[in-house]
Homo-oligomer: A and B are copies of this chain.
Amino acid sequence: MGAQTEFILKTSSLSITSSRKKILEIFLSASTALAHQDIEKLAEQYDRVTIYRTLQTFLDRGIIHTIPTTDNTIKYALCSDDCITSGHHHDNHVHFLCDQCGRTLCLDDVSIPAITLPKGYSMKEINMVVNGICKTCME
């Protein structure tokens, strides 16, 4: 556990601090994407500002990525392995937001289909987010 977080930090040439390890652990043990607020609650020993700055650092290094939502919050999730090790970010799966339990899930098995943009547009990133009821809430 500690080893894994330290490895990720070293790989991204970030210095190893307890707040970074803690926040990484939170992501590693989370089954869903997390909002800033979620992380604040789970890492309450650290200052709000530290969490803002740590999340920003992780985004810059491609350790985590953001998932856009329609409710004015941003959710963060760990990038998959190939996403971390490769130079730039590419996250090719669909995200699912459950309207009932509020969780944000990475549908790793559902990849984003290709689209053709009109002439003159260049694509850098693509996001596909589905709202609905998740498997757990349907049962």
Q: Are B123 and A126 in contact (CB under 8 A)?
A: no
Interface size class, chain A: 35 or more
Which residues from B are CB-within-8-Å of A68? Answer: 68-70, 127, 129
Which residues from B are CB-within-8-Å of A127? Answer: 68, 70, 127-131
Q: A68 to B99, alpha carbons, bound, how many Å?
A: 15
Which residues from B are CB-within-8-Å of A132? Answer: 117, 121-125
Copies of this chain per assembly = 2
Q: Are A118 and B126 in contact (CB under 8 A)?
A: no
Which residues from B are CB-within-8-Å of A41? Answer: none
Which residues from B are CB-within-8-Å of A120? Answer: 134-135, 138-139
Q: Are A115 and B138 in contact (CB under 8 A)?
A: no
Q: A69 to B120, alpha carbons, bound, how many Å?
A: 21
- A5 part of interface (Cβ distance < 8 Å): no
- A74 part of interface (Cβ distance < 8 Å): yes
Which residues from B are CB-within-8-Å of A134? Answer: 120-121
3 tightest CB-CB pairs across the interface, nearest first?
A120-B135, A68-B68, A125-B131
